[in-house]
Amino acid sequence: MSAVFDKKIHQTLADANLQLAIYTATGRLKDKRTESVAEALMPEYQELRTQANALKKHAIENLDYYLEEFERNVEAHGGKVIYCKDGTEVSDFVLGLAKERGVSLLVKSKSMTSEEVDLNERLEHHGLEAVETDLGEYILQLGHERPYHIVAPALHKTRFDVAAIFEKELHVAYETVPEKLSQIARGVLRQKFLDAGIGITGGNFLVADSGAVVLVENEGNARLTTTAPRIHIAIAGIEKVIPRAQDLAVFLKLLARSATGQALSVYTSFLSGPRRAGEIDGPDEFYVVLLDNGRTKLLPSRAKRQSLYCIRCAACLNTCPVYRKIGGHSFPWVYSGPIGAIITPQFMGVSYEPSLPFASSLCGACAEVCPVKIDIPQVLLDLRSDVKKAETREKKNRLEKLSFRMFAWMMTHPRVYAWAGWMARHGPILNVGPVRAWTSQRDLPPRPRQSFRDMWSRR
Amino acid sequence: MALARRRLTGQEACPTTDTIKTSVGKRVSLFVTCLGDQLFPNAGMAVVEVLERLGYAVDFPKDQTCCGQPAYNSGYREEARTVARHFLKTFESSEYIVVPSGSCTSMIGHHFADLFRKEPETLARVEALGRRVFEFATFLTEVANVEDVGARFDGIVTFHDGCHGLRELHIREAPRRLLAHVRGLELREMLPAEECCGFGGTFSVKFAELSGAMARTKLEAIVQTGASAVVSLDSSCLMQIQGALSRAGSKVRTMHLAEVLASR
């Protein structure tokens, strides 16, 4: 385990207030999800999951076809599609357009994809101001933090934390009433929407047959981001494409329920192209940036490409006993929780944080709630194997490799195994290595004098 | 398969212990698991006692060791395959294999197939083997077709669902139905019963502090029920829970389901 990963886990576990905040907030989301998909309320839930899985599987296996169809339809509506292989290409495009149009202020609605490529930092580096307009994201931007959670980015912040951030960064009086805090943010953000030249959003779904970008949100800020500024840029991963508008009947039902327990999010926007002649709303220019950033690397593996089915509902985070202890910032990249543990090594390479796929008890709670049925534990197991293969190639962690070779030898030699068991039960206990790690938290079980096979043979 | 597997709906009349005569003469092989063999032999003996009480002749293939899960879960596929082949050789001739662990049962029944995907011949053999492997509680309710094993245990217990039994084998009702027929026993469910205890094999030592924190959350749920014992299908979960209970100075004890069912 890297020292940074270890330290962040330790710090989060040691912070009692933070522990309570994470456990309470995820518990609430988890319970709401459970209630909203209960058999009595939604008898078709399991069938919807099966269909969602089949649709995603089909879309990913025919990604080239659907992306081209999507592109054709966006362009037919007067929009433009830009393919970017990484974050540099995304920021080059946005910077170039901003410079050409003389834009210095941009507003953004919540987008994990833009977080993934550090878009804000890249734009700020070139003197542009990009303002987050989702309340949680705005709080974090003011506090100079990255999202703690895929859906609820400021999940770890109490209202007192927010009050302190607003007081310091916005120079307003210390205020802890949530409604009043929202009003403060709203006051600042309204003017930003009106002044901004470009609005940047993510994209929950890219609908191939209609060339539409679908955005799902609760605050209305995405709708303002896409309509107030003259230019709208949607940035989405290539895996977000779905074949038909009718497929949304499956995905929208699952997304809101899995994320927050809502039957439907407050705002669902279908955006296809710039404002047409005679329309009163909408931007003059409409761009969809389709980002690869490592995604195509997953396509060849049948077992692993299911990681691209994810619709970013974060149900796996809320139910994960590991996420609920170590929180979002312990994870090495922007994506946290079980889904982060499987996509980080695949997008960034297994050596990015080799111990990440091992930071799981493989309890499977994530797979149970995943609306698109990604078998996260199995992908973790496959990634563990990848990590060990890489270590063997690079001649790293050789002691562990040797110990597992000895394990295999012992387990194929029953007499050696029985002898080793006797030693473990009767020999001195050396408080080192795994024993020390075990006893740092728990007591050892009492050691029986006889093994089962001893008892059996004396019957 | 010699016996048709039958699912109970729970509405059916519960068979009395008289039905056990039908199973006389049946043979089962016990895979006691490495952990059960070396550290929890009483749970294994309890399995034998319950099975024999039901009229089964229990066989203990003495070459048995481990299912290979520690290597598989640690990413060492080749080493896991080696151990899995040994398991296959040891148990291939058994008609039924009973395992007092949901986790090991799932390793054999599900993950062996993953290990031998590229060896069609071995794959066919492990798949055939997988169909004959039963977690202990499931064996009782689905094969032996019994819910009342004639046990008596005076006290309040709570039940911990092991994750692999629950989510990979979908075992939820079998142990509860078995416990419901134990005279003198009151089952009080903990909330949540299905949250992981934090063991996770090598996870428990690789991420010891995190694993310990998960165990303590589990402990709170257990203690809140007021139960004097926590029962599970897996000695591994129980080792984690018992270690944490003991560290916390709690008097709550841990028992394998077989130990409860063997009590009279």
Radius of gyration of chain A (CA): 25
Which pLDDT score is estimated for A281?
85
Q: Where are the domains of chain B?
A: 17-142, 150-262
Q: What is the rounded average pLDDT of the residues A30-35?
A: 97
Task: Note whether A453 contacts B244, CB cutoff 8 Å.
Answer: no
Tokens of B168: 């990979």
Instruction: Looking at the complex, report in whole angstroms how far the Cα of residue B135 sits from the nearest Cα belonging to chain A.
Output: 17
Instruction: Looking at the complex, report in whole angstroms how far the Cα of residue B66 sits from the nearest Cα belonging to chain A.
Output: 6
Instruction: Looking at the complex, report in whole angstroms how far the Cα of residue B83 sits from the nearest Cα belonging to chain A.
Output: 6
Tokens of A246: 């009718």
Q: Look at residue B1 and tell me whether its pLDDT is greater than 50.
A: no
Mean pLDDT check: name the lowest of A428-437, B11-20, B41-50, B156-165: B11-20
Which chain A positions have a beta carbon within 8 Å of B45's beta carbon?
A: 452, 455
User: Which residue, among B73, B70, B62, has the nearest Cα to B37 in the 3D structure?
Assistant: B62
Q: Look at residue B2 and tell me whether its pLDDT is greater than 50.
A: no
Tokens of B170: 């979908």
B226: left (phi over 0), alpha (psi -120 to 50) or beta: left
* Highest CATH level, class, for B150-262: alpha beta
Q: Look at residue B6 and tell me whether its pLDDT is greater than 70.
A: no
Contact A208, A66 (CB under 8 A): yes
Q: Look at residue B189 and tell me whether its pLDDT is greater than 90.
A: yes
Q: Which of A363, A387, A422 has the highest number of chain B CBs within 10 A, making it the mutation to test binding with B?
A: A363
Q: pLDDT digit string (tens) for A380-424?
A: 999 999 999 999 999 999 999 999 999 999 999 999 999 999 999
Instruction: Looking at the complex, report in whole angstroms how far the Cα of residue B82 sits from the nearest Cα belonging to chain A.
Output: 6
User: Which residue, among B236, B80, B87, B76, has the nearest Cα to B163 in the 3D structure?
Assistant: B236
Instruction: Looking at the complex, report in whole angstroms how far the Cα of residue A389 sits from the nearest Cα belonging to chain B.
Output: 8
Which pLDDT score is estimated for A459?
87
Q: pLDDT digit string (tens) for B119-150?
A: 999 999 999 999 999 999 999 999 999 999 99
- Confidence band, pLDDT 50/70/90 cuts, at residue B51: very high
User: Which residue, among A104, A66, A218, has the nearest Cα to A153 in the 3D structure?
Assistant: A218
What residues have CB less than 8 Å from A168, skipping those under 6 apart?
A: none
Determine contact: B220 vs chain A, CB below 8 A. Answer: no
Residue of chain A minimizing CA distance to B204: A438
Q: Look at residue B17 and tell me whether its pLDDT is greater than 60.
A: no
Task: Note whether A452 contacts B36, CB cutoff 8 Å.
Answer: yes
Of B38, B208, B243, the CB nearest to A424: B38
Determine contact: B199 vs chain A, CB below 8 A. Answer: yes
The Cα A44–Cα A28 span in angstroms is 23
Which pLDDT score is estimated for B25?
62
Q: pLDDT digit string (tens) for A228-282?
A: 999 999 999 999 999 999 999 999 999 999 999 999 999 999 999 999 999 988 9
Which chain B positions have a beta carbon within 8 Å of A362's beta carbon?
A: 73, 163-164, 200-201, 203
Q: Look at residue B5 and tell me whether its pLDDT is greater than 70.
A: no
Task: Note whether A361 contacts B200, CB cutoff 8 Å.
Answer: yes
Taking CB atoms and an 8 Å cut-off, how many pairs form between chains A and B?
199
Q: Say yes or no: do domains B17-142 and B150-262 share a fold.
A: yes
Question: Domain B17-142 classified CATH 3.40.190?
Answer: no
Which pLDDT score is estimated for B260?
98
Which pLDDT score is estimated for A2?
82
Instruction: Looking at the complex, report in whole angstroms how far the Cα of residue B146 sits from the nearest Cα belonging to chain A.
Output: 25
Residue the block writes with tokens 């006797």: A422
Q: Which of A385, A412, A455 has the highest number of chain B CBs within 10 A, making it the mutation to test binding with B?
A: A412
Residue the block writes with tokens 């700020």: A124
Task: Note whether A407 contacts B86, CB cutoff 8 Å.
Answer: no
Q: Say yes or no: do domains A1-36+311-396 and A63-293 share a fold.
A: no
Output the CA angle A298-A304-A307, nearest 5 degrees: 80
Q: What is the rounded average pLDDT of the residues B161-177?
A: 97
Q: Which amino acid type is present at position A193?
A: F
Which pLDDT score is estimated for B192?
86
Task: Note whether B217 contacts A321, CB cutoff 8 Å.
Answer: yes
Question: Which option is the CATH number for A63-293: 1.10.8.640, 3.40.50.10420, 1.10.287.130, 1.10.3720.10?
Answer: 3.40.50.10420
Q: What is the rounded average pLDDT of the residues B232-250?
A: 98
Instruction: Looking at the complex, report in whole angstroms how far the Cα of residue A56 sits from the nearest Cα belonging to chain B.
Output: 23
The Cα A138–Cα A135 span in angstroms is 5
Classified by CATH at the fold level, domain A1-36+311-396 comes out as Fumarate Reductase Iron-sulfur Protein; Chain B, domain 2 (1.10.1060)
Residues 139-198 of B with CB under 8 A from A: 163-164, 166-168, 194-196, 198
Residue of chain B minimizing CA distance to A405: B79
Task: Note whether A387 contacts B64, CB cutoff 8 Å.
Answer: no
Task: Note whether B200 contacts A421, CB cutoff 8 Å.
Answer: no
Cα separations in angstroms, A127 against A11, A99, A123, A225, A264: 35, 11, 7, 20, 38
Q: What is the rounded average pLDDT of the residues A143-159?
A: 96
Task: Note whether B209 contacts A440, CB cutoff 8 Å.
Answer: yes
Determine contact: B240 vs chain A, CB below 8 A. Answer: yes
Of B48, B75, B196, the CB nearest to A385: B75
Which chain A positions have a beta carbon within 8 Å of B71's beta carbon?
A: 404, 407-408
Q: Look at residue B4 and tell me whether its pLDDT is greater than 80.
A: no
Q: Look at residue B10 and tell me whether its pLDDT is greater than 90.
A: no
Tokens of B173: 């009702």
The three-state secondary structure class of B119 is coil
Determine contact: B246 vs chain A, CB below 8 A. Answer: yes
Q: pLDDT digit string (tens) for A307-338?
A: 999 999 999 999 999 999 999 999 999 999 99
The mean of the pLDDT values for chain B is 93
Residue B184 burial (C-beta neighbours within 10 Å; 0-12, 13-18, 19+): exposed
Count of CB atoms within 10 A of residue A39's CB? 9
Determine contact: B200 vs chain A, CB below 8 A. Answer: yes
Tokens of B245: 């209970």
- DSSP-derived letter for residue B15 is P
Q: Look at residue A131 and tell me whether its pLDDT is greater than 80.
A: yes
> For the packed helices A376-393 and A398-411, what is the interaxial angle rounded to 10 degrees?
110
Pairing of strands A285-291, B57-59: unpaired
Task: Note whether B39 contacts A447, CB cutoff 8 Å.
Answer: yes
Task: Note whether B44 contacts A452, CB cutoff 8 Å.
Answer: yes
Tokens of B151: 């046990």
Task: Note whether A442 contacts B240, CB cutoff 8 Å.
Answer: yes
Tokens of A233: 């840029």
Task: Note whether B83 contacts A367, CB cutoff 8 Å.
Answer: no
The Cα B44–Cα A157 span in angstroms is 49
The Cα A264–Cα B76 span in angstroms is 44
